[in-house]
Amino acid sequence: MKETTIGGFVMARKYRNISNYENEIIEIWNNGKSLKEISEVLGFSYQEVRNFKTRYNKKQRRIAAGEAIHKKGRPCKKEGELPPSIQKTDPIGTKMSVRCLKLNILPW
C-alpha cells in the first residue's frame, strides 16, 4: 500500500477503481439496498458510490436512446489517411504521398 503525507502525518492511501465493482454495486442496488448501505458493504465512501450510480444511469439512458458511446480523448488516426502537414503541402508532395501509401511505403 502506498503511503502519503498530509500535513506531516503519514497516512495509508487506499485506491480502488470503483468501476471494477460495477456488477456488485448493481446487484446490491437491485436487491433494494441504499447507496449508504452499498458504500458500507464495499468500503467506498457514499459520495463515490453516488457519483458512480449517476454515471451508470446516464450511460444506460444514452444506450437506451440509441446514442453512440464514444471514448474520451483524441480519436485514433485512420489507416491510409494522410497527415494534415502533408495535406496542406503542394500538390506534387501530396501525389507522391498518396502513391507511397498505395505501395505501403511511408515517406514520413
Give the H/E segment covering residue 56. helix 46-65
pLDDT (tens digit, 9 = 90+) per residue, 60-78?
Answer: 998 888 877 776 777 666 6
- Residue 1 reports pLDDT greater than 50: no
Please give the Cα distance from 57 to 35 (Å, whole number): 14
User: First-to-last CA distance in the chain?
Assistant: 45
Number of CB atoms found within 10 A of residue 65's CB: 7
Tell me the pLDDT band of 80, cut-offs 50, 70 and 90.
low
From the number of C-beta atoms within 10 Å of its C-beta (0-12, 13-18, 19+), residue 38 rates as: buried
- Residue 101 reports pLDDT greater than 90: no
**pLDDT exceeding 70 applies to what percent of the chain?**
54
Q: 5 CB contacts (<8 Å, ≥6 apart)?
A: 11
Asked if residue 39 lies in contact with residue 49, where contact means CB atoms within 8 angstroms, the answer is yes
Query: pTM for the complete prediction?
Result: 0.54
Position 32 scores a pLDDT of 94
Cell 508532395 belongs to which residue?
Answer: 93
